[in-house]
Amino acid sequence: MTSTASTRSTAAIARLVIPAALAAAVAVLVVYLIFDAAGADFEVTMSGDHSTVTAVQAGLAALLVSLVGGTVALLIARRTARPARTFATIVTVAIVLLLVGPLVGADQALTVVALEVLHLIAAAAVLLVILPRIDTGTDTTSTDA
């Protein structure tokens, strides 16, 4: 049997994955430009390599991670009893792990703050758009006749 609520929530999520990802990318680009104007150098060291995070890289990363997050939300909404709680837990763990990178890789304090804020904005864009639409599983009305 298929639940009407589950079908509705996954359809609502599917329609919003790309717009949520685009919103995350645009928000990250805008905030990147604000921090850039404030003097953040966006220089990071990863695995011994020095590089500068560009606005395009930040926007594309936000877009791709948001698309992955939306896809994970769809899978969770279809397969778990408590999708909202499961998705929020996964995103929380992922963002905590992602917040370690700027602390370790960036030397300039403003760059650390900027990268931390960019990570949080990308996560928030997905959470704010998708999390409210994940069904809690309370409606089990069958679609089968």
For residue range 58-86, list pLDDT tens digits in order: 999 999 999 998 888 888 888 888 888 88
Beta bridge partners of 45: 50
Residue 84 backbone phi and psi in degrees, to 5: -65, -45
- Calpha distance 134→15 (Å, rounded): 13
Task: Write down the pLDDT at residue 25.
Answer: 95
Task: Write down the pLDDT at residue 6.
Answer: 58
Beta bridge partners of 66: none
pLDDT-flagged residues of the chain (< 50) = 1-2, 136-145
Joined tokens for residue 29: 């680009």
CA atoms within 13 A on the CB side of 143: 8
Task: Write down the pLDDT at residue 137.
Answer: 45
Joined tokens for residue 105: 């890789």
Task: Write down the pLDDT at residue 103.
Answer: 87
Task: Write down the pLDDT at residue 59.
Answer: 96
- H or E segment at 39? none
Task: Write down the pLDDT at residue 145.
Answer: 40
Task: Write down the pLDDT at residue 73.
Answer: 86
